[in-house]
Amino acid sequence: MKIIMLGAPGAGKGTQAKMIAEKYGIPHVSTGDIFRANIKNGTALGIEAKKYMDQGLLVPDELTVKILLDRVAQPDCADGYVLDGFPRTIPQAQVLDEALEELGDAIDYAINVEVPDENIVKRMSGRRACVSCGATYHVEHIPPREEGICDKCGKELILRDDDKPETVQNRLQVYHEQTQPLIDFYGAKGVLKTVDGTVDSKEVFAAIEAILG
Ligand code: AP5
Ligand code: MG
């Protein structure tokens, strides 16, 4: 099963993608997490990506596409995956499509998690992310068992650099200009499914389970 998560920054793509990965036994592939791991390790890719991420801009397609295609070519992705944060532009979607077509394959579902802009900024300021495994929490809605510590791996939780309100505004603008057109792109392919992302994360997941079966 090959799934794409669509939705604004902070819509809950990562939260839902992790639940899908766990239930359906497929890898969760997040380009944002890959970039953040590279930033943490000080790689050349991380240094380059950080310039864009800190401003709320997209990392150029040339860098992003190669990383994603390499990742999904790994053996653990053979039976499917859930993509979170990719594609984010029409050219990215086209490259993915062509790569899948060459394998006689295609995306099964593009799940659009719908949350209005008004809710987003508030959510982001409460988000805490694990520096090590990428798990996400929310200080009010989805708190960790122990403040500042990841439930899953015991490492430190941080506020992401790009979750400052002014950067979130930029990310929203970039989303509307460059990523939202993907909703029509996947709609035209007949694989688009939309869920309400404003309800509790367990309810959002129940709606997704009803789609995936
Ligand atoms: P990325 O890491 O993908 O960030 P994003 O799309 O901005 O999305 P977020 O991770 O911020 O939000 P999310 O939808 O995953 O929400 P979450 O589940 O955490 O990308 C970061 C940057 O990397 C980009 O800006 C770009 O620069 C670069 N990049 C990445 N991919 C790229 C690509 N393909 N091309 C170019 N550049 C790329 O939830 C948010 C918060 O809400 C959390 O605190 C969570 O606990 C809480 N929450 C979740 N669900 C609910 C709920 N139902 N109710 C209440 N709270 C909830
Ligand atoms: Mg995310």
Are the beta carbons of 110 and 181 closer than 8 angstroms? no
Helix (H) or strand (E) holding 132: none
Q: Which residues are annotated as a binding site for AMP?
A: 31, 36, 57-59, 85-88, 92, 160, 171
Are the beta carbons of 59 and 35 closer than 8 angstroms? yes
Distances (CA, A) of 140 to 62, 197, 204: 38, 16, 17
pLDDT in tens, the chain (213 residues): 999 999 999 999 999 999 999 999 999 999 999 999 999 999 999 999 999 999 999 999 999 999 999 999 999 999 999 999 999 999 999 999 999 999 999 999 999 999 999 899 888 989 999 988 889 999 999 999 999 999 999 999 999 889 988 899 999 999 999 999 999 999 999 999 999 999 999 999 999 999 999
The 8-class DSSP code of residue 87 comes to: -
> From ligand 1's centre to the CA of 33, what distance in Å?
10
Q: Determine whether the shortest distance from the Cβ of 207 to ligand 1 is under 6 A.
A: no
> From ligand 2's centre to the CA of 99, what distance in Å?
24
Cα separation, 86 vs 108, whole angstroms: 15
pLDDT value of residue 125: 87
pLDDT value of residue 44: 97
| pTM, full prediction | 0.93
| Ligand 1 atom nearest to CA at 128 | 44
Residue 181 CB neighbour total at 10 angstroms:
12
pLDDT value of residue 121: 87
Cα separation, 125 vs 104, whole angstroms: 42
Cα separation, 176 vs 180, whole angstroms: 5
Cα separation, 94 vs 201, whole angstroms: 30
Distances (CA, A) of 142 to 12, 107, 188: 11, 30, 35
pLDDT value of residue 127: 93
